[in-house]
With several copies, the nearest count.
Chain A
Amino acid sequence: MAETPFIEARGLAKHFGGVQALAGVDIDIRAGEVHGLVGANGAGKSTLIKILAGLQRPDAGRILIDGNPVEIETPQQATALRLGFVHQELHLVPQLNVLENITLGAPKPTRLGIVDWRRVAVDVKSIADRLGIAFPLDAPVTKLSTAERWLVSIARALVRKCRLMVMDEPTASLSEVESQRLFQIVRDLAADGIAVLYVSHRLDEILDLCDRVTAFRDGRRVLELEGQALTRQALVRAIVGGEAPEALIASDAPLSREIVFRADGLRRLPMVKSVSFDLHRGEVLGLAGLVGAGRSETARMIFGADRPQGGAMMLDGKPFRPRSPVDAMEAGLGLVPEERRSEGLILEKSLAFNIGLTNLKALQVSPLLPLLRMGKRASQAEALVRRLLVKTPSTAIPVGRLSGGNQQKVAIAKWLARSLKILILDEPSRGVDVGARAEIHRIIRDLAAEGLSTIVISSDAEELPGLCDRVLVMCEGVITGELVGRGVTREAILHASYAHAQVQKSA
C-alpha cells in the first residue's frame, strides 16, 4: 500500500445559508485502499463528495492530488483528473437506454462522426458482466427496477478508467447478492491500485470492506480508524456521539388474533403471481426477499396505486378494493414508497408543505371551509421533525435541500400525522444512519403497541430481526416462507430467500 495519499483534502469548509455542512475537514485517500466514510445524516459526507466532483465550490480549503494542489470547478475537470463517482441519488436519463446511460458523457468511438454503438457495447459488456447485469443493454432504463438502475449508475462510474472511485451509499438499494458482487468489484479496484472512497450507513459492510474509516459529525472529522481499532462499537460511538442505541429484541408475545387485513391470491403479472397473507392488529410484519421479488408491487396494489389483475383483499373483514391511493387512505392505509425523491416527496416544496400534504383535511379550518390553518401545519411539522431527529434549520426550507437520509425521514414523517390502521414502509431505513434507524424502529414499535399494523419491506436482512413480529419471505411473485418471533433471524431470512431461488433455478 502506497504511503503518499493519492488525494488529500485540507480544511474544506462549506456552508449553505445558516447551515455549516463542512467545518474544515481533512481527509486523505491512498491509492489501493478502500477508505470508508461514515457519519450521521447531514454530517457532510455528500457535500465533501460534491466538492470533489466539481459540483460545489468550497468556502475554504484545498484539494491536492499526488501532492499538487488542484482546482475542481466543473464535473468535466473532475473527469479529466480521473475521479469517478457514484452519487447518492440516481441520475439516469429516462429517454435513453441502458447502454447510452452507462456511457453518458464518455467519449465514444465514431465512424464519420456517427457513434459506433457496436464497439461501445463490446467495451461495456465486460463491465456489465462483472456487475452481474442480466438485463439487455438496449433495454430502456424506465423498465428497470430500482436496484437495476443502481447497477447502471455504478457501471457508468466503472466505464471510465479512474484513479479515484467515490461511492456514496451504493448499496442502499441493493440486496445481498448485488451487494456481494459490488464488494468484489470494490476489492478488485483497490487491488488494481485505485483509491476508493466508500460511504455507507451499513456498518457491517464498512467493517467488512474498508481498510481505513473516517467518521464525520456535524461537518467535522471526529475519528479516523484502521486495523484493530476498527470496531462496530467505535464507529457507532463516533457517528451518534454517544453510546449505541439499544437494539430491539424480538418479543415472543402472542400476536393479536384480530385480522385487520387479508390478501388472497393477489396477482399482477409479471411481478406478482399470487400473494396471500394475513395482517394482525398491532403486528409488525416484515416482507423480505431478493430484489425483484415483487414486494414493492404488492405494496402498491394494497395501497391502490396499481390495480390487481386477480385476487381479493379484505379490510376489517369487509372486501377492500381501493381504486386509487385516495380510497386506500380513506380506509386508513399509508405507504412510504421505495423511491423517496421521485415518489415520496415534492422536493422544491418545504418540509411543512410535504408533511401537511397527507393531512390536508385535518388542517382545514372546518370540514366545509377548505382554508388551512398554516400555524397548525407548521407546529405539526416541527413536532414530527423533532420526533424523527430530522436535521434541518427550519421546516420552511425546500425538502430537496436536506441530506439524503433526512429526506427519507421526512417521507416517513408525513404519514405519522395521520391516524392510520395500516402503514406500509418500503425500505424505510434506506440511507438512514444508525441512530435514526433505531429511532424509526422504536416509532414503529410504539405505533404497533397503539394498535397500528405495519408492513415493513426491507432488502436489508439485518433490519427485520428484532423489529418484526413475523416475516414473510417473497420470491418471484409468491410468498415462499414465514418466520415468526425468535425465528426471525438474518440467517433464516437469507436461507429462505435463497433456498427458493435455488429450487427455481434447478427446476
Chain B
Amino acid sequence: MAENIKAGNASGRTPFSLRLSVLPFLAKYGTIIGLAIMIAVFSFLAPVAFPTVSNFVNVLNQASLGIIIAGGLTVAVIVGELDLSIGFSASFLGVLVTGLMVWVGLPVPIAILAVLLVGAFIGFINGVIVTKIGVNSVIATLGTGTIIVGLNFAYSSGAPIAMGVPDAFVNIALGRLWGVPHNVLIMVAVIAILWVVVERTSIGQSIQAVGGNPVASRLSGIPVDRVKIIAFMICGACAALTGLLLASSLGSGTTSAADGYLLSAFAAVFLGSATLRDGEFHILGTVFGALIIAVGFNGLAIFGAPTFYQYVFQGAILIVAVGLSSLGRLYAAP
C-alpha cells in the first residue's frame, strides 16, 4: 500500500498498433492544441471583443489568483497528497488580513507577512496530521478546512470587513506596473519560484521523489515526513497569497470569498497533468490548465452562451482537452 494519488490513467494497457507520428505529438501537446483551438474558435465567433490584447491581459489578470492557488496545490499533489483546505483557508486568510489591518491596526506589510505565515502554518498542521498521525490527506484537510470555516466565522461572525481597508492594501491587486496588472506580475513571480523550487532544487527533487515512491525515497535517505510537511506549507502559503490578493481586489475580507477556488484549482492541476508530460503533475502544466479554464470561461461569456451551454462547455473542455492528450498517449507506441 502506498501513495495516495497519481495522475494519468495508464493501466499498463496495450495500444492498437495505429501509431502515426502525430500521436506522440498529440499526447504531449494535446491540451495546448485544445487551448489553441479554443482561442481560434472564440476569435472566429467574437472577432471584435475576444482576440484583443486588453482582453488577454484581463483574462490573465482574472486567472492570476487561481493560478497561484493551483500552483501551490500542484506541489501538494506532486508529493502525493491532496489538500482540500485551500479554498477555506484562502477565504479565512483574506478575512484575517483585513482584520489585522482594520481592527488590530497592523501596517500593511506586517499584516501580509503575518497572514502568509499563518497560511504556511495551516499547511504545517495539515502536514503533521497527515504524516505524524497518519490520517489520509483527504480526511485531514477536509477536517482542517471545516475547522477553518469555523474559525473564520468566529473571527468575523460572517460580516465582511469593508470599512477602513487601507488604500495601500487595495492597490496591491488593483495597481499596474508598465501597464501590466500587479496580480499578473505576482503570479508570474510565484510560478517562476515554484518552478525553480520543484524542478531545480534538492527539496523539489525530494518532493517529486516522495510523490513517486515514498518507500524508495525513505531508503534513499529522504526525510519523507519533513518533505511532505514542507509541500503542505508551500501549498498553504500559496493559498494565503491568493486569499489576501482576493481581499485586496475586493477591497474587503469576506467570509467565504475564496471557497470556490478549491474546485477550479483541482481542475487546473489535473488538466495540467495532461500537458507536456505523461500524466505527471507539474507547475507549468497547472498554469496551462488554469489558462484553459479561464479562456474557456471568458470566451463563452463573450460569445454570450446561455448558462446551460456554459456548464456543458466547461465540462466538455475538461474532458476534451485531457482526452486529446490521453488518446494520443494511449494509442501512440509507449
Contact = CB atoms under 8 A, between A and B. Distances in A.
State whether these chains interact.
Answer: yes
A110 B200 CA distance: 10
A466 interface: no
A324 B333 contact: no
B96 to A, nearest CB: 30
B201 A325 contact: no
Interface stretch (B31-39, B41-49, B145-153, B218-226): B218-226
Given A104-B217, A105-B220, A349-B212, A94 B1 contact: yes
Given A342-B213, A348-B212, A360-B202, A104 B222 contact: yes
A179 interface: no
Given A307-B14, A307-B16, A325-B221, A93 B202 contact: no
Interface in A260-294: none
A78 B218 CA distance: 11
Interface string B156-179: 000000000000000000000000
A371 B201 CA distance: 4
A198 interface: no
Contacts of B102: none
Contact of B196 (A114, A142, A363): A114
A243 B208 CA distance: 43
Contact of B221 (A113, A329, A370): A329
Interface in A74-100: 74-76, 78-79, 85, 87, 91-96, 100
Contacts of A57: 14-17
A361 interface: yes
B38 to A, nearest CB: 29
A346 B1 contact: no
B287 interface: no
B247 interface: no
B251 interface: no
B280 interface: yes
A507 B191 CA distance: 53
A53 B219 contact: yes
A105 to B, nearest CB: 3
A356 B202 CA distance: 10
Contact of A106 (B208, B216, B220, B334): B220
Contact of B205 (A55, A92, A360): A360
Nearest to A93: B212
Interface string A344-359: 1111110001001110
Contacts of B201: 110, 113-115, 370-372
A420 to B, nearest CB: 12
A40 interface: no
A233 B2 CA distance: 42
B223 A76 contact: yes
A345 B205 contact: no
Contacts of B1: 94-95, 142, 348
Nearest to B215: A343
A147 to B, nearest CB: 18
B200 A96 contact: no
Contacts of B14: 54-57, 73-74, 305-307
A91 B215 contact: yes
B233 interface: no
Nearest to B222: A105
A76 B209 CA distance: 16
A105 B200 contact: no
Nearest to B202: A360
Interface string B214-256: 0111111111000000000000000000000000000000000
A104 B200 contact: no
Given A57-B17, A93-B217, A349 B208 contact: yes
A309 interface: yes
B132 to A, nearest CB: 14
Interface string A409-453: 000001000000000000000000000000000000000000000
A482 B14 CA distance: 30
Interface residues of B, number: 32
A92 B212 CA distance: 8
B128 interface: no
A59 B333 CA distance: 10
Nearest to B203: A370
B211 interface: yes
B21 to A, nearest CB: 12
Contacts of A392: none
A219 interface: no
A346 B218 CA distance: 11
Given A54-B14, A309-B17, A372-B201, A353 B221 contact: no
A100 B213 CA distance: 13
B9 to A, nearest CB: 14
B208 A93 contact: yes
A79 to B, nearest CB: 4
A53 B206 CA distance: 20
Interface in B1-59: 1-2, 12, 14-17
Contact of B220 (A56, A357, A364): A357
Contacts of A414: 220
B216 A93 contact: yes
A120 B280 CA distance: 24
Contacts of B333: 15-17
B202 to A, nearest CB: 4
Given A57-B17, A142-B1, A305 B219 contact: yes
B72 to A, nearest CB: 19
B295 to A, nearest CB: 28
A337 B218 CA distance: 11
A335 interface: yes
A76 B13 CA distance: 13
A104 B280 contact: no
Given A55-B14, A324-B223, A361-B202, A91 B213 contact: yes
Contacts of B218: 55, 75, 305, 324-325
A306 B203 CA distance: 24
A470 B208 CA distance: 40
A470 to B, nearest CB: 26
Contact of B209 (A54, A105, A374): A105
Contacts of A17: 333
B221 A79 contact: yes
A74 B218 CA distance: 9
B216 A346 contact: yes
Given A305-B14, A348-B280, A95 B219 contact: no
Nearest to A110: B202
A357 B222 contact: yes
B199 to A, nearest CB: 9
A346 B209 contact: yes
A255 interface: no
9 contacts: A78-B221, A95-B1, A105-B222, A110-B201, A110-B202, A305-B218, A343-B216, A357-B220, A358-B221
List of 5 A-B pairs having minimum Cβ-Cβ separation, nearest first: A105-B220, A91-B216, A93-B212, A346-B212, A360-B202
Interface of A: 15-17, 53-57, 59, 73-76, 78-79, 85, 87, 91-96, 100, 104-108, 110, 113-115, 142, 156, 303, 305-307, 309, 324-326, 328-329, 335, 337, 342-349, 353, 356-358, 360-361, 363-364, 370-372, 374, 401, 414
Given A346-B209, A346-B216, A349-B208, 5 more contacts: A94-B213, A305-B14, A325-B221, A343-B216, A345-B213
